[in-house]
Amino acid sequence: MKYVGMYTQVSRNNRLTFFLLLMFPILLLSMVWLYLVLLSYCGIEDNSKYIDVGSDVNWASVNKDFLCSLPWVVGIVGVWFIIAYFFNAWMVKKATGAKPLERRENPRVYNIVENLTMTAGMDMPKINIVDDPQLNAFASGIDRKSYTVTVTKGLLNVLNDEELEGVIAHELTHIRNRDTRLLITSIIFVGIITTVMNVCIRSLYWITSDDSSSSSDDDDNKGGVLLAFLIAIILCLIAYVFAIMTRFAISRKREYMADAGGAELCGNPRALASALRKISEKPGLDKVKRDDVAQLFIIHPQGLKGKRGWSFFASLFSTHPDTEERIKILEQF
């Protein structure tokens, strides 16, 4: 299989990473501003329990509050992003239960990785293993110091050397194409925006459910609660749209590109196809609860349910292409 378009893919991923780095702060600040506008419009200001829906927006107050919150939002998010950016490897390991794999524990894996990296002219990545009898693998990391290839124990037990070589070549191609850096960046951003939404919901609930109000204010308080949840829903929808946009930005084409690059790197596309077929029969890491982390896997644990009950609508938002289609393409060569 001829692996074409690697440099195009790398350039595309670099542009998308820069786009996310630029657009995320703009989107987040826009949401903070919208949060203040909606509170003002609904008459929920200065911790007031009373609401006056449809009142004129106090733009001066909104802009003043926004400017006051600006350094706090930028500072907190900036610190959070820096910490997450440099501790992403630890975050992924904790989410998946991965542990470092020493050479003496499995020289077979190390030999395969070393041979492939020398062929590709790459630095040797770290190697992790997940104590899971099921099958899966993924690459992660944002730079040479954090690039990691992770495999499950079941994968090592079930695949032969040629199939394992194909899977590792696939993951190394993700690293070469900068797919992992783009995915890690999106994981951090989505995590931040989800947390901000939770804080907004909790803050609104606290403002509108203050028990210190007198009994004559019960109706106003009930309306405030309903209105607060409406605001929260609107903001959550914005967050959801952002998450969907991120998934579309990180095209499912990346898996086809990694399949092609892995097939070229190992020189045996049918071995990779055979490995994908075995993995699809018993995909591992399905205990990972974070769907953003599951984007990294060679086969999404839930992504196989498209033919077993997943609706067509849900499949449109899948982060991975159909496994059978991937196998079919590989077996054509």
pLDDT digits (tens, 9 = 90+) for 268-316: 999 999 999 999 888 777 778 777 788 889 988 764 444 444 444 445 5
Rounded Cα–Cα distance for residues 157 and 134 (Å): 10
pLDDT higher than 70, residue 223: no
Contact 326, 167 (CB under 8 A): no
Q: Stretch 101-129: mean pLDDT, rounded?
A: 94
CB atoms within 10 A of CB 17: 19
More confident residue, 202 or 59: 59
Helix H or strand E encompassing 103: none
The percent of residues in the chain predicted with pLDDT above 90, rounded, is 30
Please give the distance of CA 229 from its chain centroid, rounded to a whole number: 26
CA geometry: angle 151, 157, 159, nearest 5 deg? 80
Q: Structure tokens of 311?
A: 């609706």
pLDDT higher than 60, residue 31: yes
Average pLDDT value for the chain? 79
Q: Stretch 247-258: mean pLDDT, rounded?
A: 75
Identify the active-site residue in 171, 255, 281, 324.
171
Mode of pairing for the β-strands spanning 148-152 and 137-140:
antiparallel
Q: Structure tokens of 14?
A: 């670099």
Mode of pairing for the β-strands spanning 126-130 and 148-152:
parallel
- Give the predicted TM-score (pTM) of the model: 0.77
Is position 171 annotated as part of the catalytic site?
yes
Give the model's confidence band at 47: pLDDT under 50 very low, under 70 low, under 90 confident, else very high.
Answer: very low
Position 69 scores a pLDDT of: 85
**Is the dihedral angle over the CA atoms 7, 10, 12, 18 positive or is it negative?**
negative
Contact 298, 138 (CB under 8 A): yes
Q: Stretch 55-59: mean pLDDT, rounded?
A: 75
Q: Stretch 157-185: mean pLDDT, rounded?
A: 92
Give the model's confidence band at 266: pLDDT under 50 very low, under 70 low, under 90 confident, else very high.
Answer: very high
